[in-house]
A and B are shown apart, each in its own frame.
Chain A
């Protein structure tokens, strides 16, 4: 497919849409699907065939608009009304309201900070396009960046653009993406791989899942651009099997893109070839660690191995491999389309662009949000999130999942970026954000995360295998009121040792929830000690 052909598809799609005065977009993301939005969609379709006004409307399934707390969500266009908690019984009223007054009882305020304070790049199409149709993505400007890259830019220029954008890895550690790309591009050898890490496993995190479900082509386009830039022609999308909807939509998207010459051989009529396959993870958290992930793709037990060598040099089957996270790739098409300067203009001096967070826990508006780097935690939790429900009091916010930490009230006005979160003992991580109120004990929070790491440790290295198990035992002792001061000292010694000596990131970061709760909520531990 050439850029001109792409434009034609987009134009045709626009034209087709011009004939439809009304569209009803139903969220078919996992959260809304769990609330039976698929049945709702069927009801809306039936209703549309029954009513004269309905003949002028199209019912579409779209990805996630973000406000999961109020699902199932329905958007009516061109009016732009958002309806919340819609049931199949509401289908009649919604269809009848088209071109007339909106259904007041279902209306969700789109002027509220939850929507107004967000800045969507990665999620720009989420909730507004049908993830199962390639044409929808193309009409939204999809694949123009890929074709521009392969037809107008050299790989080095593409990499320069990514470097200049300042994009950092969204999987957690925040390594500069462009630098990683350049390393892989420089690695010798005719055969290289591009891998997408879609093994999102943090409890309470669903950023990548939502992107893959709501806008799968965006991920593929990002991967293809990366492949072109580093000189790879094969790619793997590693997705956990617990995300069946993401897997289905990705596979569908791969087939569509291949059929249209946007993946496969001679992309854009050039010599560039990129084939991508989906590989399923069996649900081991450790397989989100890049070396374990690659072992799993190779068909081996998903154990991490010491680095160096880094994947950029020796990855899949010992060949140079670029591995980035879903959200990282999802940023790429927009960066190439809008330019590195535009992207670098968003965010803070060291952390550019936006970050997607899965906002959960004790907060009104749970859901998926995308905010510019540098926003404060208070804005996220109290403006976008709408504050703490049931008149309770904010206590801490947990970021970064089991590898992250708990941040207390005193840091709520801190601007969120990689460095600031690290400076208060947490991490950006992949974007899990769990709000904790005064009904929770921080000892229990720490115990929960250690239990998670204990059961998700692969068991290869001693500090992580036995250390996390012992930390869990000691935390249980302390939580039960039987722990002594000596047990607390041993726990702290273990935190230091497991962090310093574990083989991979899982173990090295596993103590973080304990360390951060000890740092800010030590009295809660002390008050539970026996004697």
Chain B
């Protein structure tokens, strides 16, 4: 029987590594300087396993596993890079670009965007799927912040930080499938939300220019996320 604190040994990309039984493949990989691409994952938020970029191969299984939600096991052999994984990751990034209207050149987050960085990392220099061009709105009803649905990738970081860290649970997802979108309260304009504390955490954790501070121009929306790990650490200390 493994206990959470038990130390296990495994191989990631051929490298011998060790980790605690309650650590995920992603955690152990990062501790050992092995990079696995992620998008919905953010340290200190509950892992979601939704973007599927961190999928890895585990020897002995034909299935792929999301590194952010898969716990390590003794003797496990993990492969974080392969032609197959690269192909899928590229396609995931392409699908995200094709899904909504990501016009990078005029985006507030241009140059400070996780999606752009991923495209570069995956070597995505063009999108080989039909762009969908949905007609989506911009919610500018909040006094200090804006939400541009055209640039949202539905990573749910805002939903999680609002519910788990701020405790307000203003954000959630409404609609289904390709029609899904983040919504404030019961799909109200953000500015009318009774629950929003205007703390701005969602803006900072948003990977793209979907959530932004009002008044910033193209390429000016730099996101600051160090607060999240600090805040969580301080809360843990206080407990």
Residues of A with Cβ closer than 8 Å to B? Answer: 284, 286, 301, 305-306, 454-470, 473-474, 477, 490, 493-494, 497, 500-503
Q: Are A461 and B51 in contact (CB under 8 A)?
A: yes
**Chain B 120-166 residues near chain A, CB threshold 8 A:** 128-130, 132, 153-154, 156
Return the contact of A467 from the options B66, B87, B95 (Cβ within 8 A).
Answer: B95
Query: Within 8 Å of chain A (Cβ to Cβ): is B79?
Result: no
Take A465-B154, A466-B99, A468-B177 as given contacts and tell me if A497 and B88 are in contact as well, using a CB distance cutoff of 8 Å: yes
A460 to B156, CA, bound (A): 9
Q: Are A457 and B177 in contact (CB under 8 A)?
A: yes
* B231 → A minimal CB distance (Å): 25
Residues of chain A with a CB closer than 8 A to B51's CB:
461-462
Query: Within 8 Å of chain A (Cβ to Cβ): is B176?
Result: yes
Take A301-B172, A497-B91, A501-B92 as given contacts and tell me if A454 and B177 are in contact as well, using a CB distance cutoff of 8 Å: yes
Residues of B with Cβ closer than 8 Å to A? Answer: 48-52, 55, 64, 66, 69-70, 84, 87-88, 91-92, 95-96, 98-99, 128-130, 132, 153-154, 156, 172-173, 175-180
Q: Are A463 and B52 in contact (CB under 8 A)?
A: yes
Residues of chain A with a CB closer than 8 A to B173's CB:
301, 459
Determine the residue in chain A with the shortest Cβ distance to B95: A466
Residues of chain A with a CB closer than 8 A to B129's CB:
470, 490
Residues of chain A with a CB closer than 8 A to B96's CB:
462, 466
A465 to B96, CA, bound (A): 10
Return the contact of A503 from the options B52, B91, B95, B99 (Cβ within 8 A).
Answer: B52
A468 to B55, CA, bound (A): 19
Identify 5 new A-B residue pairs, CB closer than 8 A, beyond the known A284-B176, A469-B178, A490-B129.
A458-B177, A470-B132, A497-B88, A501-B92, A503-B52
Q: Are A463 and B154 in contact (CB under 8 A)?
A: no
* B55 → A minimal CB distance (Å): 6
Residues of chain A with a CB closer than 8 A to B172's CB:
301
- Report 22 cross-chain contacts, Cβ distance below 8 Å, ordered by A residue: A284-B176, A301-B172, A306-B70, A456-B177, A458-B180, A459-B173, A459-B179, A461-B51, A461-B52, A462-B96, A462-B154, A465-B154, A466-B95, A466-B98, A468-B178, A469-B99, A469-B178, A473-B130, A497-B87, A497-B88, A497-B92, A501-B92
Take A470-B95, A470-B98 as given contacts and tell me if A459 and B180 are in contact as well, using a CB distance cutoff of 8 Å: yes
Q: Which 6 A-B pairs have the closest CB atoms?
A: A459-B180, A457-B177, A466-B95, A306-B49, A469-B178, A501-B52
Residues of chain A with a CB closer than 8 A to B99's CB:
465-466, 469
Q: Are A473 and B176 in contact (CB under 8 A)?
A: no
Q: Are B180 and A462 in contact (CB under 8 A)?
A: no
Most B C-beta atoms less than 10 A away, residue of A462, A473, A477: A462
Residues of chain A with a CB closer than 8 A to B179's CB:
459
Residues of chain B with a CB closer than 8 A to A462's CB:
50-52, 92, 95-96, 153-154
A22 to B178, CA, bound (A): 57
Take A306-B66, A461-B50, A503-B49 as given contacts and tell me if A469 and B180 are in contact as well, using a CB distance cutoff of 8 Å: no
* B166 → A minimal CB distance (Å): 19
A427 to B84, CA, bound (A): 25
Residues of chain A with a CB closer than 8 A to B132's CB:
469-470, 473
Residues of chain A with a CB closer than 8 A to B52's CB:
461-463, 501-503
Q: Are A501 and B177 in contact (CB under 8 A)?
A: no
Return the contact of A454 from the options B70, B95, B98, B178 (Cβ within 8 A).
Answer: B178
A388 to B8, CA, bound (A): 61
Residues of chain B with a CB closer than 8 A to A306's CB:
49, 66, 69-70
Determine the residue in chain A with the shortest Cβ distance to B179: A459
Return the contact of A501 from the options B64, B70, B98, B128 (Cβ within 8 A).
Answer: B64
Take A465-B154, A500-B64 as given contacts and tell me if A458 and B92 are in contact as well, using a CB distance cutoff of 8 Å: no
Determine the residue in chain B with the shortest Cβ distance to A474: B130
A458 to B173, CA, bound (A): 10
A477 to B156, CA, bound (A): 32
A456 to B70, CA, bound (A): 26
Return the contact of A493 from the options B66, B91, B177 (Cβ within 8 A).
Answer: B91
Determine the residue in chain B with the shortest Cβ distance to A508: B63
Q: Are B177 and A455 in contact (CB under 8 A)?
A: yes
Residues of chain B with a CB closer than 8 A to A284's CB:
176
Residues of chain A with a CB closer than 8 A to B84's CB:
500
Q: Are A494 and B177 in contact (CB under 8 A)?
A: no
* B236 → A minimal CB distance (Å): 21
Residues of chain B with a CB closer than 8 A to A465's CB:
99, 154, 177-178, 180
Q: Are B176 and A457 in contact (CB under 8 A)?
A: yes
Residues of chain A with a CB closer than 8 A to B87's CB:
493, 497
* B71 → A minimal CB distance (Å): 8
Residues of chain A with a CB closer than 8 A to B91's CB:
493-494, 497
A325 to B103, CA, bound (A): 46
Residues of chain A with a CB closer than 8 A to B175's CB:
459
Take A465-B154, A469-B132, A490-B129 as given contacts and tell me if A458 and B95 are in contact as well, using a CB distance cutoff of 8 Å: no
Determine the residue in chain A with the shortest Cβ distance to B48: A460
* B151 → A minimal CB distance (Å): 15
A306 to B70, CA, bound (A): 9
A460 to B173, CA, bound (A): 9
Residues of chain B with a CB closer than 8 A to A477's CB:
130
Take A306-B69, A501-B88 as given contacts and tell me if A457 and B178 are in contact as well, using a CB distance cutoff of 8 Å: yes
Q: Are A463 and B178 in contact (CB under 8 A)?
A: no
Take A306-B66, A469-B132 as given contacts and tell me if A459 and B92 are in contact as well, using a CB distance cutoff of 8 Å: no
Residues of chain B with a CB closer than 8 A to A305's CB:
49
A480 to B154, CA, bound (A): 31
Determine the residue in chain A with the shortest Cβ distance to B71: A308
Q: Are A456 and B176 in contact (CB under 8 A)?
A: yes
Residues of chain B with a CB closer than 8 A to A463's CB:
52, 92, 95
Determine the residue in chain A with the shortest Cβ distance to B55: A501
Determine the residue in chain A with the shortest Cβ distance to B51: A462
A424 to B219, CA, bound (A): 52
Residues of chain A with a CB closer than 8 A to B64's CB:
500-501
A463 to B156, CA, bound (A): 16
Residues of chain A with a CB closer than 8 A to B50's CB:
460-462, 503
* A426 → B minimal CB distance (Å): 19
Determine the residue in chain A with the shortest Cβ distance to B96: A462
* B88 → A minimal CB distance (Å): 5
* B13 → A minimal CB distance (Å): 20
* A515 → B minimal CB distance (Å): 16
* B70 → A minimal CB distance (Å): 8
* A398 → B minimal CB distance (Å): 22
Q: Are B178 and A490 in contact (CB under 8 A)?
A: no
Q: Are B154 and A459 in contact (CB under 8 A)?
A: yes
Most A C-beta atoms less than 10 A away, residue of B69, B128, B178: B178
Residues of chain A with a CB closer than 8 A to B128's CB:
490
Determine the residue in chain B with the shortest Cβ distance to A476: B130
A455 to B180, CA, bound (A): 10
A473 to B132, CA, bound (A): 9
Return the contact of B177 from the options A301, A459, A470, A490 (Cβ within 8 A).
Answer: A459
* A136 → B minimal CB distance (Å): 41
Take A306-B69, A494-B91 as given contacts and tell me if A455 and B49 are in contact as well, using a CB distance cutoff of 8 Å: no
